[in-house]
Structure 1
Amino acid sequence: MNRIILVALIVIGVSGCSKGHSAEEFVDSQVSAKEYDVSVVQLKPSEKYQRVDGIGGGVANYERWYCEHPNREEIFDLIFKDLEVSMLRIGNWYEKNSSANPILAQQKVIMDAAGRRLGRDNFSVMMSNWLVTPELIDNPGVGKATLKKNEKGEYMYSEFGEWCRNTLEAYQTAGITPDYLSMMNEPDGNNSGGDKICLGYGAYHSEKANYGKALEATYNALKNVTDRPKLIGPEVLGIGYNTFRNYYNDLNPDLLDVAAFHCYHGGNTSDYKENDRYSSAHAFISEFRNLARIVGDSKPVMMTENCSYHPSVPEDAVNIAHFISNSFCYANATAYLHWALLWGYDSKEAMKEGGDGCIAVESPWKSSQWTDSRKGYVVRSEFYGLKHFTKHVKPGWRRIGTECSLDEVEIVAFQAPGEKQIAVILINFSEQEQKMIRLGDMNGTYTTTVIQTDTQKESWYQVLEKADPFAEISLPEMSVTTVIIKLKAN
């Protein structure tokens, strides 16, 4: 059985890994590692990487269900107060807003619920444009529809940019002010409903309006908007087939504040675990690194949508944590947004088959058919995998270096501003238990908290009261473990 030592190389609160520890102390740690025949995990706070902008997910469908659910306050408590998300993603549903379907008002109810529990300054809002007015669609209601052309045979880019501005301002007037705006969600999708627009790149997609030109028109249209959100894109469906590279290289990156992608395809399929993408974040490492190289240090990178596409299983707590960890470590992401914090299900059968929603919300109008006759919702395993990050890693924290040679364990660590707190998240995505014997000696007085999700025992978010990371804790198979280290005040 493999064992791990987690070695901290600095005193928290003092910059630089060499301060607070002598060379002899470091050698002693290496000797004890050899003595116990263990694997060593090293924390390297002097290796500072990207700052975190937010971690959370989307509330982009079934808004009426959530607002009219008899237990909506419990549901909002769970996703805002319990998860403590620091970024929310909503849809631009202006085109289906009406007196009969006041969806903007429903979205405002959800935003207000988040604000009361979190404080508006403690989370950011990203809005993605989905539906487009039929007046700007070349074939409304027809799959693969793109932007309409004017009488001169030219795509109506400027009119599209004006539509983006007008709908944004409508949201702002309704009291919803996005911090980020995606001009078009998944422009490379097939648009099966014909209610949005497909956008392409370069000569290869000459039959479609060009994403880069639409972005330029949107950028110009938003120049004088009060509280202008940061533009985020291209928000493509996946990173396989060079999709992100092709879109990104064909646009003017100076017009984007944030580079964004989704993760529904990509990775080395031969490395997929049981032929399942969502169980195989390790297969995406190479493409994550390529994406980081393409964007470089010019702007933040955000992963703004991902989900399982399979029925919910206990192991999804590990799968979501694995994707979050790898997005931060290899794509240098500054934010990770799960597809759905909430999702509606009209029947028990649909809920069994569906994999959307950290919380599966049952129809508020069919309480007699609820799985739990009191609740009307089910908290799923992904909720807890996400919670390891949302609860303990906040905007402004910085990812720091780690080093571990152990296979099938991913480790990511973040340090708080002021350098007096570190969160270390260990994802054991193997079918073998691992051991972490002790943390390396650190100067100063510290408190530690160990929290663990053991999917095989369905122990979802357990504080290990007697666990001492300076002594020994185990990493069960298919588990997520978080170690919080805090420096005590003198």
Structure 2
Amino acid sequence: MKSLKILSINLIALMVISSCIETEKSLKVDVVETSRSGNKLSKVDVFSEGKPTSKINLNPDKTFQTFTGFGGSFTESSAYLLNRLSKENRQKIIDAYFAESGARYSLTRTHMNSSDFSLGQYSYAPVEGDTLLTSFSIKEDKDDIIPMIKEAMEASKEGFKIISSPWTAPPWMKDNNEWVGGKLKPEHYDTWALFFSKYVDAYEAEGIDIWGFTVENEPHGNSNNWESMHYTPEEMTDFVSNHLGPQLEKDGKGDKIILGYDQNREGIKEWVDVMYKNEKNAKYYDGTAIHWYESTFEVFPEALQYAHEKAPQKYLIQTEACVDSEVPKWKDDDWYWSKEATDWGWDWAPEDQKHLHPKYVPVYRYARDIIGCMNNWVDGWVDWNMVLDRQGGPNWFKNWCVAPVIVDPDQDEVYFTPLYYTMAHFSKYIRPGAKRIDFESTDKDLQVSAATNPDGSHIVIVFNPSEEEKVFELSMKEAEQVVSISPQAIQTIVLKPKK
């Protein structure tokens, strides 16, 4: 009897030890999902009982770039629409983007002077010949953009960075004396550099810190449609090296970030070759800005890798993206998950480029591009307008586009499209200072990226564009957890640090 009692005790002890080992080998994960079937950042507690058909293995010991942030843009159009909503709906949108309960945007952009997403064309320096900019004023922003930024600042617990971009200098500084096209006259390089410095001062007087600039939105132009100003790589580098950088430095603003280029990725190579050609050229450039409009599906990984390798210690930030050339679909979630959208290139891209602009799924375009950018050294990703109306404006040029949040100000209604939830899967969970980490995924259908936050939490983004549920084993350092993802869905998986 005594030996049986001892055997029983030993068996119980082994069961307890086995249970402890099993617990230690299980990853503790929090999962949220957005899917075509109706999940919207919904928490997932129960996973499929099916057998895993693939594996995602995380290697947090191998790291890559540090993330600057994710977010969207303060435009006059968005801010004007917020002014037309009820106080409750205005706050609802601000909180949805910036509060702890919302998407927690950490990197944003705005325009200096007007853009196509303004109500009309304007400049902060309208007086011709005012080379000392004594008439400089940001009064155009005081009714809309500035109040929107201030309310976002109040809602944001951790704060956010602002990148400012000019679409054009005032016409009197340009060789064609027009809002559209033309180049900055060499005799006004110093005045235009001073313009940036005065802008920082004016916003600082409003209690708003400008983190940095892109030198020019789309320096190749936009087919002469709306505000633009053209530079070659050499011209922009001359302006930055000999005028803008020294002016900011002289005025005690040398900490302001300067990003060159700021257009589509396919053309990035010739720009970074000039920007980072030598120490003199590179001195005042803090990084490179890019857009996504070259294609609805191609991330251009080789171009991104090339830009990174040219300047591995500098920023590489996606500063603008949107579902362009579309009037938003109102309260029709399924459209955003359907292959119905077209972009500008669908109609008039050159024949040799039309294949880059097929019909596409809007959610897919966002998810795969952000993941592709993350996996190819991009450290920040900024969406375009935060809010547009049912027409896809207001836009003085009638250049209609889609935003993650669509409003009907006449009825005081707000529609959070699936694009809002897609953005939040990244911005809410991958925080500034996070580092991308290495991983291996055995399912080629799943698109994956991963990062480790400053607080030690590991974040895994999984996008499943297929029409079938996927069951996979998530593993890290010999611990594992079986996870399932719905068809046509995006997930954020949070692995919390051990206390």
Q: Give secondary structure in 1 for the equivalent of 2:490.
A: strand
Contact 1:302/1:334, CA 8 A, preserved across alignment: yes
Contact 1:410/1:427, CA 8 A, preserved across alignment: yes
Q: Which amino acid aligns with 1:60?
A: T
The 5 Å alignment of 1:143-292 reads 143-150=180-187, 156-190=188-222, 192=224, 195-202=227-234, 210-216=235-241, 217-240=243-266, 243-251=267-275, 252-265=281-294, 277-278=295-296, 280-281=297-298, 284-292=300-308
Gaps of 5+ in 1: 1-7, 13-35, 151-155, 203-209, 266-276, 368-372, 444-468
1:388 equivalent in structure 2: 425
Match of 2:83 among 41, 59, 67: 67
CA distance in 1, matches of 2:464, 2:440: 15
The higher relative CO (CA closer than 8 Å, separation ≥ 6) is in 2
Q: Give secondary structure in 2 for the equivalent of 1:361.
A: strand
Match of 2:320 among 302, 305, 317: 305
Q: Give secondary structure in 2 for the equivalent of 1:184.
A: coil
1:113 equivalent in structure 2: 151
Distance 1:37 1:442, change over 3 A: closer
CA distance in 2, matches of 1:383, 1:162: 37
Contact 1:398/1:415, CA 8 A, preserved across alignment: yes
Matched, 1:322 2:368: yes
1:424 equivalent in structure 2: 460
Distance apart, 1:74 and its partner CA: 1.7
Gaps of 5+ in 2: 1-23, 29-50, 115-121, 127-136, 276-280, 329-334, 338-361
Distance 1:226 1:342, change over 3 A: farther
Distance 1:91 1:166, change over 3 A: same
Q: Give the TM-score, by structure 2 length.
A: 0.71
Distance 1:238 1:395, change over 3 A: same
Distance apart, 1:175 and its partner CA: 2.8
Q: Percent identical across equivalent pairs?
A: 18
Matched, 1:486 2:496: yes
Distance apart, 1:472 and its partner CA: 4.1
The 5 Å alignment of 1:316-355 reads 316-330=362-376, 332-346=377-391, 354-355=400-401
Number of residue pairs aligned between Structure 1 and Structure 2: 391
Contact 1:181/1:231, CA 8 A, preserved across alignment: yes
CA distance in 2, matches of 1:191, 1:340: 21
Distance apart, 1:329 and its partner CA: 0.6
Distance apart, 1:162 and its partner CA: 1.9
Distance 1:337 1:347, change over 3 A: closer
Distance apart, 1:185 and its partner CA: 1.2
Q: Which amino acid aligns with 2:164?
A: M
Distance 1:437 1:201, change over 3 A: closer
Distance apart, 1:334 and its partner CA: 1.2
The 5 Å alignment of 1:350-369 reads 354-362=400-408, 364=409, 367=410
Distance apart, 1:226 and its partner CA: 4.0
CA distance in 2, matches of 1:116, 1:472: 37
Contact 1:9/1:45, CA 8 A, preserved across alignment: no
Q: Which amino acid aligns with 1:343?
A: L
Distance apart, 1:164 and its partner CA: 2.3
CA distance in 1, matches of 2:239, 2:317: 21
Distance apart, 1:255 and its partner CA: 1.4
Distance apart, 1:223 and its partner CA: 0.8
Contact 1:322/1:429, CA 8 A, preserved across alignment: no
Contact 1:138/1:149, CA 8 A, preserved across alignment: no
Distance apart, 1:354 and its partner CA: 4.8
Matched, 1:139 2:139: no
Contact 1:318/1:480, CA 8 A, preserved across alignment: no
Distance 1:96 1:9, change over 3 A: farther
Q: Deviations over 1:281-317 (max 9, x none)?
A: 4x5233332332233x231211111122254532323
2:32 equivalent in structure 1: none
Q: Which amino acid aligns with 1:379?
A: F
Q: Which has the larger radius of gyration?
A: 2
CA distance in 2, matches of 1:259, 1:198: 17
Q: Give secondary structure in 1 for the equivalent of 2:259.
A: strand
Distance 1:472 1:77, change over 3 A: closer
Matched, 1:127 2:164: yes
CA distance in 2, matches of 1:142, 1:129: 12
Q: Give secondary structure in 2 for the equivalent of 1:471.
A: strand
Distance apart, 1:343 and its partner CA: 2.3
Q: Give secondary structure in 1 for the equivalent of 2:55.
A: strand
CA distance in 2, matches of 1:416, 1:179: 22
RMSD: 3.1
CA distance in 1, matches of 2:290, 2:244: 19
CA distance in 2, matches of 1:166, 1:123: 21
Matched, 1:379 2:416: yes
Distance 1:408 1:92, change over 3 A: same
Distance apart, 1:337 and its partner CA: 0.5
Contact 1:438/1:470, CA 8 A, preserved across alignment: yes
Q: Give secondary structure in 2 for the equivalent of 1:169.
A: helix
Distance 1:299 1:64, change over 3 A: same
Q: Give the TM-score, by structure 1 length.
A: 0.72
Q: Deviations over 1:41-85 (max 9, x none)?
A: 110001111111111111223122223422311221222221111
Distance 1:442 1:344, change over 3 A: same
